[in-house]
Amino acid sequence: MPVDTRFAYAYAIGRIRVIEKKLLDKGKLDRMIDSKSPDEALKVIVESGYVESSTLAGNAGEYENLLREEEKRLYGLLREVTSDDELFNIFLLKNDYHNIKVLLKSEFLAIEANDNLLVSGTMPPMHIKTAINERELDRLPLYMKEAIDECLDTFSRTNDPRQIDLILDKAYFRHIVEISEKSGHEYVKELVKIIIDLTNIKTFIRIKNLNMSADLLSRSLIPGGTIADSFFTENMDTNMEVFVEKIKNSPYFNICSQGISNYVNTGNLSRLEKLADDYIINFVKKSRYKTLGIEPLIGYLVAKENEIKNVRIIMVGKINNISGDIIRERLRDTYV
């Protein structure tokens, strides 16, 4: 029988509660959108605690560096307050898998791509690099090793770089499903399932839209969600309206009906993407006021990632003179 784990995160939650107050609320985001110039928009987030590096020097074009630093800070903090609890690798592993993609592709293209490596994974990018370069894959977790083996084998036969993404995305999800199952936290399991479902819905609509094969679809779908793979493959040839009708009883009905009808009318998937992100943020928001347990930690993480996404949307919009209305349309719901 496991010990009472509810108190395990008490310290971490204390820390999070303090910095949670710094999250950008809707008012701040509105101020950014309504600011006259990108530089002015940038000032709002610097005031809110984003750390301005010396290279930035008030130049809005460098906002990417600022966000990268903020991401680094977020994951660093996470590791610190949870003392490397494996569970939180769920949020870090995507960066490791990103690094593997970069490293494999740069090997196949015979170019150096060190600039594109992310430091916020579960292990230093150079560790993965040496393991791949020297083909000592046993130094990596099993899911990574198997996926890299498969990539090397598939690419040598097909020369198709898309296979690398397919294989590694799948391995990533398998990896986090296993961690979530092992953790025994229902909340985490549910969150991972939601993420998989939403990913599959987006994959389904994209592949259907591109008129690509059902075979590609079944290879791209991620197992482990609440919606069975067969539901998607069977509906490959149904038209979008009928598909929406069929998904009526699922919690994702709203996302699909609004997102897809917007897509059919405008040819644009951005609405669906936004609604999918909103669904996740609203899921974690529900348990924001829990005093103990893992929920507030995960809530903050998701909220912060979401905030960084919002800041990026606003900054790109401001730099390219996009109207406030269009920026607001694309903005994700906020946690606070």
Q: How far is the CB of 319 from another protein (least distance, A)?
A: 7
Q: Is 68 helix (H, G, I), strand (E, B) or coil?
A: helix
Nearest-angstrom CA–CA distance, 119 and 179: 21
Query: Residue 288 corresponds to which tokens in the numbers above?
Result: 């924001």
Cα–Cα distance for residue pair 206/33, rounded to 1 Å: 30
Contact string (CB under 8 A) for another protein, positions 298-317, x = contact? ------------------x-
Closest CA to 271 of 231, 223, 328: 328
Task: Burial-class residue 159 by CB neighbours within 10 Å (0-12, 13-18, 19+).
Answer: exposed
Contacts of 20 (CB under 8 A, 6+ apart): 296, 300, 303, 336
Least Å distance between CB 309 and another protein? 16
Options 53, 59, 209, 323; binder of another protein; rule CB under 8 A:
59
Asked whether 155 and 164 are in contact (CB, 8 A), the reply is: yes
List 110, 249, 321, 325, residue binding another protein (CB under 8 A): 321
Distance separating alpha carbons of residues 300 and 288, to the nearest angstrom: 8
CB of 234 to another protein, least distance (A): 33
Closer residue to another protein in complex, CB, 152/322:
322
Of 61, 76, 124, 223, the one binding another protein by CB under 8 A: 61
Q: Binding of another protein at residue 268 (CB under 8 A)?
A: no
62 contacts another protein (rule: CB under 8 A): yes
State the nearest-atom distance from the C-beta of 61 to another protein, in Å: 4
Query: Is residue 52 a contact point for another protein (CB under 8 A)?
Result: no
Write out the residues near another protein by the rule CB under 8 A.
59, 61-62, 316, 319-321
